[in-house]
Amino acid sequence: MTAQGRRPGRWYRRLPRWAQTVRFRLAVTNSLAVFGLGAVVIVVLYAGVASTVDQAALRELKQLRAELGMPADGPGSDTLHEAVSHYTKEKLAEYSLFGLGALFVLSAGTGWMLAGRALRPVDRITTTAREISGSDLSGRIRLQGPDDELRRLADTVDDMLDRLDGAFSGQRRILDDVSHELRTPLAVIQTNLEAVLSRDDVTEAERRQAAAVVGRATERMTHLVEDLLSSARRTAPAFGEQDLDAARVAAEAADEFAAVAAEQGVRVRRRLCRGRVVADAVALSRAVGNLLSNAVRFAPRGSTVLVATGQWGEWAYIAVRDEGPGIPEEHQSRIFDRFWRGRARGGADGEGERTGQTGLGLAIVRQIVEAHGGSVAVHSRPGEGSTFVLWLPDLDTRRAGGGESGGPPPADDPVALAAPR
């Protein structure tokens, strides 16, 4: 049975390549249909004419003999009648065969051209599909014309390419985010381990402190890998909600970056007040860590980075302030865009590319905070440093409002104004 199933395929592969195309099959089918119908018409006409030619020829022969004064049924009349009838049928057959041959040639040529015209959109779809590569899915067919089956097929392929492009773009964003996120905890681990291992007079308390910091950084990387696997399965990583003290989250982040900041000649100072929020501890710690990483990177040597928390009305906040070069007003609307790179310490705009920045840190911060119903704000002036504030609905407001706050967060800088607690 299997061998029999392969025989047609083997026989078909012996044909020339052009004879294996859909265009050839359509042309043959159309030409045979037209030729068959034409042949039926010609055969019917031939039969009808042949059946009447004898009587017509006989009447004309009798009329001619009468005009010549000859008897209508005289000698030789039958022979002459048969000769005229045979000649007429013979010519009719010749013309019919010639017409059938011409009809076959015309139907085959016309069928080939019509099939090619009908399949032209398919060729366009094939060409576009071949031109599309794994790194560039921007090509589209965009077939114009009537809303027929081929137009719907082309639109379906375009929709599929849109979905594939979106999926691949999402994967690339995930890889960019993961590479950015892994860099920070790895730097924390390396710095704290080097700080402990490079000294002989390290106390037991310092070892425990370094071990705790390394443990939290390792836990952050573990959660990050879990988020990556969840995203790869096309399921959005859900944030686990729990009651948190914003001051504790900020303190742990400050502990992690204290050694990193010290290496850069920067001191991390804290001004922590209680602020209760409902959030995912790992995600919120990641957001604060990104702010601290940026602050340490941009802060000049010998300066101070301030981490502050507190509560203002219905909102709790976590703020990170540096004494860096500041952000021009025209750039402040872009700093949360993906892949936008600012200015490195003492450098010019765009130098962030040469210092290894990916331009994803602040975009991730905004994504995390907005997923918790909050917002992120920046207060900065060139030469005066920058303050980034994470506004989150406080615990009571979040519960009373069903997960949302009653109004927008304050527009002021809580660090500069020493907001009420």
Confidence of residue 234 (pLDDT cuts 50, 70, 90): very low
The 10s digit of each residue's pLDDT in 239-266 is 667 889 999 999 999 999 998 899 989 9
Pairwise CA distance, residues 60 & 51, whole Å: 16
Distances from the Cα of 406 to the Cα of 192, 273, 392, angstroms: 42, 22, 12
Dist CA 159 CA 217 (whole Å): 42
Tokens in use for 272?
């922590």
Taking the C-alpha atoms of residue 85 and residue 325, their distance in angstroms, rounded to an integer, is 112
Higher pLDDT, 101 or 62: 101
**Are the CB atoms for 260 and 191 separated by under 8 Å?**
yes
∠ CA(328), CA(332), CA(336), 5° rounding?
140
DSSP bridge pairs for 375: 391
Say if residues 275 and 313 touch (Cβ distance below 8 Å): no
CB neighbourhood size of 300 (10 A): 15
- The pLDDT score that the predictor gives to residue 228 is 58
- Cα angle for residues 72, 73, 77 (degrees, 5° grid): 95
- Give the three-class secondary structure for 380: strand
Phi, psi of 128 (to 5 degrees): -65, -40
Q: Are 321 and 415 in contact (CB under 8 A)?
A: yes
Please tell me the least confidently modeled range out of 45-49, 282-286, 310-314, 387-391.
Answer: 45-49
Q: Output the pLDDT for position 420.
A: 45
The pLDDT-based confidence of 162 (bands split at 50, 70, 90) is confident
What's the pLDDT score for residue 356? 38
CB 359 within 8 A of CB 335: no
Centroid of chain to Cα 155: 15
- CA gap 32, 25 in Å, rounded: 10
Hey, what domains does the chain have and what are their CATH numbers? 2-118 (no CATH), 241-417 (3.30.565.10)
Q: Which two tokens stand for residue 306?
A: 């301030």
- Indicate the range of 16-25, 59-68, 200-209, 347-356 predicted with least confidence: 347-356
Of the two residues 411 and 407, the one the predictor is more confident about is 411
* Encoded amino acid at 18, one letter: W
pLDDT tier for residue 9 given thresholds of 50, 70 and 90:
low
pLDDT at residue 172 tops 80: no
Q: Highest mean pLDDT: which of 156-165, 294-303, 351-360, 397-406?
A: 294-303
The C-alpha torsion from 196 through 200 and 202 to 204, rounded to 10°, is: 100
Out of 247-251, 352-356, 364-368, give the one with best mean pLDDT. Answer: 247-251
Whole-number average pLDDT of the chain: 78
List CB contacts of 347: < 8 A, sequence separation 6 or more.
355
Q: What percent of the chain has pLDDT over 90?
A: 17
Rounded Cα distance between 246 and 252, Å, is 10
Residue 235 confidence (pLDDT) above 50:
no
- Tokens 């905890």 appear where? 185
Which pLDDT band holds residue 2 (cuts at 50, 70, 90)? very low
Query: Higher model confidence: residue 356 or residue 110?
Result: 110
CA distance 409 to 384: 24
